[in-house]
Amino acid sequence: MQKWLEELSNLVERDRISWGESVLDLHSRDQSHHPTVRPDVVIWPQGVEEVSRILSYCNGKGIPVTPWGAGTSLEGNPIPVKGGVVLDFSLMNRILQIRPQDFQADVEPGVIYQDLNERLRHMGLFFPPDPGARATIGGMIGNNASGTRTVRYGSTKDYVLRLKVVLASGEVVQLGSRASKSSSGYDLLHLFVGSEGTLGVVVEATLRLVGMPPDSSAMIAAFAHLKDAGNAVFEIMRAGLEPCALEVLSEECVALIKREMALDLPVANLLFVEFLGPSMSYLNEVAFTAEELLKETGAIMVQKGIGRDKRDSLFRARYQLGEMIIRSHPERGFLTTDMAVPISKFPELLMFAREITRGLEIPAYIFCHAGNGNIHVALMGKRGDDKEWDLIRQINEALVEKALELEGTCTGEHGVGLGKKHFMEREHKSSLGLMRRLKQILDPNGILNPGKIF
């Protein structure tokens, strides 16, 4: 090991490679409940050529390499479970070029997506995927990240036009083009989106941008029962109202937000809806129709025309909900589930989640990207209490099995990582073998983020 550490040190400047205890600890965990595992060394590359040299060397020596963005993953996706090298891309964080007339931006993988949108804001453009945490573009591509806006704008894969990728061998390949559409050959570009760094390392991306609508309108609806909130989601989608956000929060979440942020909210199951549009007159008409639908589906209270300040507070509360939950239970760890089903099955999965968590002695919070049928349940277990964690794992298993039974998926946006590996055969059946063969072709020595997906 000492020999290859010395040889790796010759590939980059000495201040960009470290095997110090604190550095290894910082790269041994993400934000999930999965056990920590230290890498042997952390390297901060600054260019494509450096990444290529590092991978070529590691491939020849059989040294594992795990790409690292911001460590905000929730399924252990960047934990270096086989040790080896962690490539931290925080120094490859340049916005290389913005072409407003083409609605495109070229970026390095370490760019934080909020920082990109801050640059774009003055041009009337934005990059829509919005997972909430300060995630890097590289991490979002690796996980095919989604978020609150996905119901209208789609997920990360819908905004990646071109990638520069370094393969395990060190070979640099370019995938896709700057054209807005193409029928040219196999779609290798999207093979790498969502691959969690197991097939290649993204070193540059061309992203598609969209125009920012000038006006927005938000509304909330309170429901006595979660199932009614789920049915309301279906009705709004069926009416063709094209919401930008459809978020369901259980009454436990609302009570916590109300306590932490002192927001004027009823303690009930809430549906938060946002619309974007060209004018306030258009949005008022949409909101009127939505209000009627919400009342017809059992809303006990509808508040529309929410001002910008309250709208921003509600979004901020939704983004900070995970941190609030953790902060409220300092003696507990957490597991957050992440299933998604077709919209027609969303109310059924929502009620299943409600029933399976009803009366638990452990805290449980249900929150959803409802417009995509994506349900999260945060389950809080006492650290070191094997009985509680066995129960949490059983609940997670039951929820995933129910989602698969309803023709859904075991992971809507968090990725496979470590936590969902054992569901892959159940979900993908014979096509999992094809995935294995693709992995073998692109990474024959198995050095890229080993221990994930399979």
Give residue-wise pLDDT tens across range 363-402.
999 999 999 999 999 999 999 999 999 999 999 999 999 9
User: H helices of 144-215, where?
Assistant: 150-153, 189-192
166 shares its domain with 236: no
Please report whether residue 445 resides in a domain: no
- 176 and 234 part of one domain: no
Are 267 and 253 in the same domain?
Answer: yes
Instruction: Locate 370 and state its tokens.
Output: 């409802």
248 located within any domain: yes
pLDDT in tens, 103-139: 999 999 999 999 999 999 999 999 999 998 899 999 9
Q: 436 in a domain, yes or no?
A: no
In terms of residue numbers, what domain contains 173?
A: 95-211
Residue 227 · residue 351 · CB < 8 Å: yes
Query: 161 and 246: one domain?
Result: no
Q: Residue 155: pLDDT above 90?
A: yes
Of the residues 188, 211, 234, the one at which a domain ends:
211
Looking at the structure, do residues 102 and 192 belong to the same domain, yes or no?
yes
**298 in the same domain as 227:** yes
Does 27 map to a domain?
no
Q: Give pLDDT tens digits for 286-298.
A: 999 999 999 999 9
| 20 CB-side CA count, 13 A | 9
For residue 199, the domain's CATH number is 3.30.465.10
309 and 169 inside one domain: no
Q: Which amino acid is at 81?
A: V
311 band by pLDDT with thresholds 50, 70 and 90 = confident
* Other beta carbons within 10 Å of 302: 19
The answer on 321 and 285 residing in a single domain is: yes
Give the pLDDT band of residue 308 (cuts 50, 70, 90): confident
* pTM score, whole prediction: 0.94
Looking at the fold, whether 348 and 253 belong to one and the same domain comes out as yes
pLDDT (tens digit per residue) in 69-94: 999 999 999 999 999 999 999 999 99
Considering the domain architecture, whether residues 231 and 328 belong to the same structural domain is answered as yes
Domain boundary among 187, 211, 235: 211
Of 159, 191, 211, which marks where a domain is finished? 211
The pLDDT tens digits of the residues spanning 201-241 come to 999 999 999 999 888 889 999 999 999 999 999 999 999 99
133 shares its domain with 265: no
Sign of the dihedral through C-alpha 381, 383, 385, 389:
positive
Please report whether residue 392 resides in a domain. Answer: yes
Domain total for the chain? 2
